[in-house]
């Protein structure tokens, strides 16, 4: 990686060089001034000035020495973890999980709270964020951004929640209330979209800028990644495939009455449990039912085949419109089904459409929504902090 040399003001060039150096320090760990100069293409004098500038701004710090040949040991520098913090929050119907990460991306604390006995979403989020920051040893003022993953629709224009099926207390106006309460930038994002962000960073979609993620759990949802960017749609409803009108189930005509939408009825967790009972594999959860089918070998095949046929209706409807090269099956059912379910869905989609996307199970096993929230917050904060290094 080297700094691009383009015409510009000295101030702009310093900013570009500073950003390049900070990114290198994050990617490659502690580096000497000389090594930073080599990697950025800067002279020794310019690299030394750059490091001094970043050190003065509190963004980098000396973390050790590197033994060399003759002469004194060279100082090693790294991004100072405490220069900024972010908090990611995963909001569910029964619990809120929050984690705090420093600017290097290291997760330094995690807290979990029940939401069953409260009707105060502001208070729940406030306590979770404060406890996460406190557990990281960070002042709340050093938390530069809070990203909350929530089920339902987020208005792309206002950033507020417009509809959350299983969170009736979450409503318009909540975003402004949280921003005022926490005195820091707060962002809402759909939970399945955040799972796709995590999948793109460190899961099954690492090598793909175009893919869709199908979430199969208590709810059914979809995230669309095009050119490495999430597609939200004009109202934030892109990916709400639970509402696909599919054959074989009643199609509600008034979603405000909280009737289960059609594809949700066909492929959600309740439907998986019902199909499992029909196949003689009763279980306490949809994920357990799928795992039992896989463990049963040949005897569990009919359950997986039926589930794949149902899921393929939603996957195929998406793929004939978007034609993505990759589909990731996530959520509790997608994760539990693994390759056995993914391969069946891939075969079924190819059988009923002209498109042939590769279908794979999620590559993440723990809290993808939370990690997607942290990644989203980190990307924004690094742009703010690293992009304003020159005063």
The CATH number covering residue 103 comes to 3.30.420.40
Q: Are 336 and 235 contained in the same domain?
A: yes
Closest to 103 measured CA to CA, from 125, 86, 120: 86
Instruction: Say what the pLDDT of residue 130 is.
Output: 94
Q: Are 297 and 159 contained in the same domain?
A: no
Q: List C-alpha distances in Å: 354 to 317, 323, 342, 349, 357.
A: 11, 10, 18, 9, 10
Specify the CATH number for the domain of residue 21.
Answer: 1.10.10.10
Instruction: Say what the pLDDT of residue 74 is.
Output: 86
Q: Are 140 and 209 contained in the same domain?
A: no
Instruction: Say what the pLDDT of residue 1 is.
Output: 45
Instruction: Examine the fold and report which residue of 62, 77, 92 is the final residue of a domain before the chain moves on.
Output: 77
Q: Are 87 and 132 contained in the same domain?
A: yes
Q: Are 164 and 115 contained in the same domain?
A: yes
Instruction: Say what the pLDDT of residue 258 is.
Output: 67
Closest to 345 measured CA to CA, from 362, 331, 327, 332: 327
Asked if residues 75 and 33 have their Cβ atoms less than 8 Å apart, the reply is yes
Flag whether 107 is in a domain: yes
Instruction: Say what the pLDDT of residue 257 is.
Output: 56
Q: Are 227 and 354 contained in the same domain?
A: yes
Asked if residues 312 and 278 have their Cβ atoms less than 8 Å apart, the reply is no
Flag whether 291 is in a domain: yes
Q: Are 146 and 279 contained in the same domain?
A: no
Asked if residues 85 and 135 have their Cβ atoms less than 8 Å apart, the reply is no
Q: Are 181 and 138 contained in the same domain?
A: yes
Asked if residues 336 and 290 have their Cβ atoms less than 8 Å apart, the reply is yes
Q: List C-alpha distances in Å: 356 to 199, 280, 317.
A: 21, 32, 12
Instruction: Say what the pLDDT of residue 174 is.
Output: 86
Instruction: Say what the pLDDT of residue 6 is.
Output: 43
Flag whether 199 is in a domain: no
Flag whether 357 is in a domain: yes
Flag whether 137 is in a domain: yes
Per-residue DSSP letter, 31: B
Flag whether 231 is in a domain: yes
Range of the domain at 120: 83-191+367-386
Per-residue pLDDT in tens (0 to 9) along the chain, 391 residues: 444 444 456 777 888 888 888 999 999 989 999 899 899 888 889 889 989 999 998 899 998 888 766 667 788 999 999 999 999 999 887 889 999 999 999 999 999 988 777 778 888 889 999 999 999 999 999 999 999 998 888 999 999 988 776 676 767 788 899 999 999 999 999 999 999 999 999 999 998 999 999 999 988 999 999 999 999 999 999 999 999 999 888 888 876 656 789 999 999 999 999 999 999 999 999 999 999 999 999 999 999 999 999 999 999 999 999 999 999 999 999 999 999 999 999 999 999 999 999 999 999 989 999 999 999 999 999 988 887 644 4
Asked if residues 17 and 3 have their Cβ atoms less than 8 Å apart, the reply is yes
Q: Are 237 and 355 contained in the same domain?
A: yes
The Cα 97–Cα 151 span in angstroms is: 14
Q: Are 167 and 308 contained in the same domain?
A: no
Handedness of CA 322, 323, 326, 328 (dihedral sign): positive
Instruction: Say what the pLDDT of residue 81 is.
Output: 94
Q: Are 243 and 372 contained in the same domain?
A: no
Tokens 């100082």 -> residue:
75
pTM value?
0.90
Looking at the structure of the chain, the number of domains it has is: 3
Flag whether 197 is in a domain: no
Q: Are 352 and 243 contained in the same domain?
A: yes
Flag whether 2 is in a domain: no
Take residue 101 and report the two structure tokens written for it: 């990460």
């Amino acid at each position: 990686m080297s700094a691009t040399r383009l015409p510009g003001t000295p101030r702009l060039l310093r900013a570009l060089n500073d950003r390049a150096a900070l990114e290198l320090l994050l990617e490659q760990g502690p580096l000497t001034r000389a090594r930073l100069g080599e990697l950025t293409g800067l002279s020794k004098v310019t690299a030394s000035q750059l490091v001094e500038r970043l050190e003065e701004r509190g963004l980098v710090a000396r973390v050790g020495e590197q033994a060399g040949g003759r002469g004194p040991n060279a100082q090693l520098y790294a991004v100072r973890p405490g220069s900024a913090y972010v908090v990611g929050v995963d909001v569910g119907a029964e619990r809120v999980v929050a984690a705090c990460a420093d600017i290097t991306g290291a997760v330094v604390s995690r807290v979990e709270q029940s939401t069953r006995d409260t009707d105060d979403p502001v208070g729940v989020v406030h306590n979770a964020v404060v406890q996460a920051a406190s557990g990281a040893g960070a002042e709340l003022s050093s938390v530069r951004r809070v990203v909350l993953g929530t089920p339902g629709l987020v208005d792309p224009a206002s950033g507020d929640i417009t509809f959350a099926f299983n969170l009736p207390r979450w409503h318009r106006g909540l975003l402004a209330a949280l921003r005022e309460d926490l005195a820091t930038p707060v962002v809402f994002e759909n939970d399945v979209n955040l799972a796709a962000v995590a999948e793109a960073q460190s899961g099954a979609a690492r090598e793909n800028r175009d893919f869709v993620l199908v979430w199969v759990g208590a709810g059914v949802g979809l995230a669309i990644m095009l050119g490495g960017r999430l597609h939200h749609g004009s109202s934030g409803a892109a990916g709400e495939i639970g509402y696909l009108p599919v054959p074989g189930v009643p199609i509600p005509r008034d979603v405000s009455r909280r009737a289960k939408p059609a594809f949700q009825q066909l492929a959600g967790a309740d439907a998986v449990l019902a199909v499992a009972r029909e196949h003689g594999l009763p279980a306490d959860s949809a994920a357990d039912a799928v795992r039992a089918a896989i463990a049963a070998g040949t005897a569990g095949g009919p359950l997986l085949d039926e589930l794949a046929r149902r899921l393929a209706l939603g996957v195929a409807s998406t793929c004939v419109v978007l034609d993505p090269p990759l589909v990731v099956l996530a959520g509790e059912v997608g994760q539990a089904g693994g390759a056995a379910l993914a391969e069946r869905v891939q075969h079924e989609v190819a059988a009923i459409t002209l498109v042939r996307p590769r279908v794979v199970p999620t590559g993440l096993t723990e809290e993808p929504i939370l990690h997607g929230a942290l990644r989203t917050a980190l990307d924004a904060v690094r742009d703010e902090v690293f992009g304003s290094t020159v005063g």
